[in-house]
Structure 1
Amino acid sequence: MTQSQPVLPPLRGRVQQDAPLAPLTWFRVGGPAGYLVRPADAEDLLLLLRDRPRELSLTVIGAASNLLVRDGGVRGIVVKLARGFSDILVEPDGIVAGAAALDATVAEHAAAAGLAGLEFLCGIPGSIGGAVAMNAGAYGAEVKDVLDWVEIATPGGLQRLGVAELAFAYRRADLPEDGIVIRARLRAVPGDRAAIAARMSQIRGAREETQPVRARTGGSTFKNPAGQKAWALIDAAGARGMRRGDAQVSEKHCNFLLNLGAATAADLEELGEMVRARVAARSGTTLDWEIRRIGEVPA
């Protein structure tokens, strides 16, 4: 007797079976999703969360700038929020942004409105949903410093939570089980447009100068240990430029891994583990991955 396929609820958004994920990621590697779902709007997402077959796992991806999808792909349902979640509303003292809105785009909207305090977002290559979920930060600020509230879709309905309820820590937030960020309000203050533009230009220039921004990369590979810089530990361990196949530790910024063209997810992950081993042997410090790694290793 043939086992029947799980049936997804009747969604209005796009649903693809065995959908390639590599083209969606900055590394351009990885296997397919069992189901790739792009909900039409919040109502569609809530229906999916409430009525999805429970035998199907649930994984959420954003801009996929800090993500490694393993070569065996991701079983179950992969949710990617798209157009229905990218609205940006400018208010007198802040921005309400959909989870799919890019961090840099939010920074640009704030700057155009003469709102200061969100300039750091132009240095984060991701989306607002991911920025909240991992408490993204750069250039002296983190999301927790500017967040007023976040709306999260859960199997039980929509929740609005404040900063204290998310228990923010370094590169993490506590979201409800199977919860997906759909929008957030970020505080800002009226400021001088020229000064805001200058600060953003400074951040972009620093990023361009120090990071391999035009390469196939996944952003910062490892978290900074307390009181230390991951890149300095990697450099001291002699891992700058180290390679495994077409995976390479960036010469420009050695806390970045690069896909030089034909790397697999396994190449990149194994190179990262080689770097961790070198750093541990040299300094006694164990680096923790900042890149989110999902999916399965092929059998």
Structure 2
Amino acid sequence: MAASAAVSALPALAGTVEARGSLADFIWFRTGGPAEWLVRPADTADLARFLAALDPGIPVLPVGVGSNLIVRDGGVPGVVVRLPKAFARVVAEPDYRVRAGGAAMGITVASAARDAGIAGLEFLRGIPGTVGGAARMNAGAYGRDASDILIEATLVLRDGSVERWDAARFGYTYRHSDVPAGAVVVEAVFQGRPGDPKAIGAEMDRIAAEREASQPLRSRTGGSTFKNPDGHKAWQLVDAAGCRGLRRGDAQVSEKHTNFLLNLDKASSADIEALGEDVRARVKAQSGVELEWEIQRVGVAK
């Protein structure tokens, strides 16, 4: 993917800009093409200045750890923003609130809450992504969603403006929010309740053990592949359609949990996405239910 003339001279950035920056190095599937430009801002002000000066026609895609992402083999045109560790700070605040940077992992937030005696955030232990991604997609696990605990968040919009949104503005529905394309969630504040650190830790341990027992955590995989349709569990529909262990090249439906796809070795992103479409077709034929992708698919085919 050749760098376009429109972005041959990007605005100044105090952080780093990498042409043809590898995404497969950190995307969970370890597949896919590069970002045309991979940008890591130094701080919120740096990101805001950069986006304000960036040609409005250039697309911007924020990416966390890529646990819920298929990057197509042709790569991602435009700018991919990945928040560095400077955005991963987590602080417990008064009134049982936790303030977390957009790059902080769910487990880090849950652990900080536990240490401060703040209950209600334990489920974040079961979300293998960042705060920014969780806030954007209303990530959830074990019966709770980000929308249940979010108080407010700070966003840098595509035009470089910095806004603080309260939870109502997100317009949350199942695995969806009204965060516009190109906006980056740089910080979020979550509400908990008083709790005993030992009890909180025990619940986090239970969640970790349940995930280990039921999900292919040690494989090249993504998060849940398909959304749960109303009245159904996606994995049960996939299983009933005979898709457990189904393969396309080195892409496979997990035998451990059928709502996970795996890269067994050298699967391409095209293999993984095509396998997902095979599954959707089989489920539709068997049950009449049309599964919707939960994993985000980005970029262009090779």
TM-score, length-normalised on structure 1?
Answer: 0.97
Match of 1:282 in 2: 286
Match of 1:62 in 2: 64
Q: Aligned match of 1:251 in 234, 243, 255? A: 255
Q: How far apart, in 1, do the equivalents of 2:193 and 2:277 lie? A: 43
Note the 1:123-134 alignment, pairs <5 A: 123-134=126-137
Per the TM alignment, residue 55 of structure 1 is displaced from its structure 2 partner at its CA by 3.4
CA distance in 1, matches of 2:290, 2:84: 36
Runs of 4+ in 1 over 4 A off after TM superposition: 2-5
User: Hey, what does 2:41 align to over in structure 1?
Assistant: 39
Match of 1:235 in 2: 239
- In structure 2, the partner of 1:219 is 223
Contact preservation (8 Å) 2:154, 2:164: yes
Question: Are 2:7 and 2:78, in contact at CA under 8 Å, matched by a contact in 1?
Answer: no
Check whether the contact 1:70–1:297 (CA below 8 A) recurs between aligned residues: yes
* In structure 1, C-alpha distance between the alignment counterparts of 2:164 and 2:231, rounded to whole Å: 34
Q: Deviations over 1:111-134 (max 9, x none)?
A: 111110000000000000000000
**Structure 1 residue matching 2:223: 3-state secondary structure:** strand
Query: Is residue 123 of structure 2 the alignment partner of residue 120 of structure 1?
Result: yes
The aligned counterpart of 1:144 is 147
State the Cα distance separating 1:83 from its structure 2 match.
1.7
Q: Are positions 1:270 and 2:264 aligned together?
A: no
Contact 1:6/1:53 (CA < 8 Å) preserved in 2? no
Deviation of 1:57 (Å)? 1.4
After superposition, the Cα gap between the structure-2 partners of 1:28 and 1:220, relative to the gap in structure 1 and judged at 3 Å, is same
* Aligned-pair CA distance for 1:56: 2.0
SS at match of 1:219: coil
Determine the C-alpha separation between the residues in 2 that align with 1:215 and 1:233.
Answer: 22
The answer to whether the 8 Å contact 1:15/1:35 transfers is: yes
Q: Cα–Cα, structure 1 residues 116 and 4, in superposed 2: closer, same or farther, change >3 Å?
A: closer
| Structure 2 length-normalised TM | 0.96
Supply the distance in 1 between the matched residues of 2:68 and 2:246 (Cα, whole angstroms): 20
Please give the alpha-carbon distance, in whole angstroms, between the structure 2 residues aligned to 1:39 and 1:23.
Answer: 19
Shift in alpha-carbon separation, 1:177–1:210, aligned structure 2, 3 A:
closer
Distance 1:68 1:281 in 2: 25
| Distance in 1, Cα, partners of 2:178 & 2:57 | 24
Other-structure match for 1:88: 90
Q: Specify the code of the residue in structure 1 equivalent to 2:91.
A: L
Q: Distance in 2 between matches of 1:249 and 1:22?
A: 20
Name the counterpart of 2:161: 157
> How far has the Cα of 1:85 moved from its partner?
0.9
Judged with a 3 Å threshold, the aligned counterparts in structure 2 of structure 1 residues 80 and 5 are, in CA distance, closer, same or farther, namely closer
> Which piece of structure 1 moves more, 149-158 or 32-41?
149-158
Structure 1 residues 245-268: Cα deviation after superposition (integer angstroms, max 9, x where no partner): 000000000000000011000000
> For the residues of structure 1 that align with 2:27 and 2:291, how far apart are their CA atoms?
23
Alignment partner of 2:173: what SS?
Answer: coil
Give the SS at the match of 2:188: strand
CA distance in 2: counterparts of 1:247 and 1:87, whole angstroms? 36
SS at match of 2:222: strand
Shift in alpha-carbon separation, 1:95–1:4, aligned structure 2, 3 A = closer
Rounded Cα–Cα distance in structure 2 between residues aligned with 1:229 and 1:3:
46
Query: Aligned partners of 1:62, 1:4: CA distance in 2, in Å?
Result: 25
In the alignment, which residue of structure 2 is the partner of 1:102?
A: 105
Q: Structure 1: which 5+ residue stretches go unaligned?
A: none
**In 2, Cα distance between the equivalents of 1:28 and 1:8?**
27
Structure 1 residues 65-89: Cα deviation after superposition (integer angstroms, max 9, x where no partner) = 1111000001111110112211111
User: What are the superposed Cα offsets for residues 238-289 of structure 1, whole Å, 9 maximum, x if unpaired?
Assistant: 0000000000000000000000011000000000000000000000000000
Q: Percent identity?
A: 52
Pairwise CA RMSD of aligned residues? 1.3
Partner of 2:25, secondary structure, is helix
Is 1:195 the counterpart of 2:199? The answer is yes
